[in-house]
Amino acid sequence: MSEYSFSGLEKAIGYEFRNKELIHEALSHSSYANEKKKQRQSNERLEFLGDSVLSVVVSQYLFTHYQDLPEGELTKIRAALVCEKSLHKFALKIRLGDYLLLGKGEEHTGGRERPSILADAFEAVIAAVYLDGGLEAARTHILHFIPKNIPEKRSMLFGDYKTALQEVIQKNPEEKVDYKLIEESGPDHSKTFVVEVCLNSNVIGKGIGKSKKEAEQMAAQEALALMGYEEA
């Protein structure tokens, strides 16, 4: 363990491990463990446990803080918060990829930036915190990543940026949003579309996609970011 230092990660998550072996294992991808043969365990078992701890903590948080929301809505929000896309974003916030232990092959093929690997490692770190410090330590760690005012951000959680933008604009009834297709290129089977979103004729976002709908969503996402609305 002495050849590795995870102090930067501990600082980023605000938790110092008493048992350093736990964080070492949480960051050990199967490719690294396989290269080390019997000297190392991969983070897969910790990932399994972390997934459950994450679900319990998020479920309790939503149940407690959003008592007006029905079960179906709570289920959808929880699913959006614990999906790979969200966990990948959480992992990026703490630069988790910088600390991953990967096999040479995985290292050379971009494993350090792969969303699935980062999401899995994020869950493994949750389990490591849970085993080292208990449920309250894990809860504190997880809740750092859960956005406030979730009902206002539901559309962004579900990746529906157009609806989220519309909800923001509706706060000012005199404002109007329009989407304009400004470019279409490529063969019929593989077209690319470029769309601009305008607020009262002023361009506030631009998006590119393989369909008009995708390009509109990307334009709305850019507009929201420029307006200061961050994703979960």
Q: For 75-119, write each residue's pLDDT tens digit.
A: 989 998 999 989 999 999 999 999 999 999 998 898 899 999 999
For residues 8 and 99, the answer to whether their CB atoms sit within 8 Å is yes
Q: Is the dihedral of CA 150, 84, 95, 139 positive or negative?
A: positive
The catalytic residue positions are 51, 123
- Model confidence at 58, pLDDT cuts 50, 70, 90, reads very high
Burial of 11 (0-12, 13-18, 19+ CB in 10 A): exposed
Q: Read off the pLDDT of residues 144-198 as tens digits, 9 standing for 90 and up.
A: 999 887 877 777 777 788 988 888 888 887 888 999 999 999 998 889 999 999 9
* Nearest-10 Cα torsion for 18, 20, 25, 31: 160
Would you state the pLDDT for residue 157?
75
How large is the angle between the packed helices 212-226 and 161-169, nearest 10 degrees?
Answer: 50
Q: What is the percent of the chain with per-residue pLDDT over 70, rounded to a whole number?
A: 96
Task: Answer whether residue 10 shows pLDDT above 90.
Answer: yes
More confident residue, 200 or 57: 57
The one-letter amino acid code at 21 reads E
Q: How confident is the model at residue 15 (pLDDT cuts 50, 70, 90)?
A: very high
Distance CA 208, CA 189 (A): 16
Q: What CA–CA distance (Å, rounded) separates 211 from 55?
A: 34
Residue-averaged pLDDT of the chain: 90
What H or E segment, with its residue span, contains residue 142?
helix 135-143
**Please, are residues 125 and 142 in contact by the beta-carbon 8 Å criterion?**
no
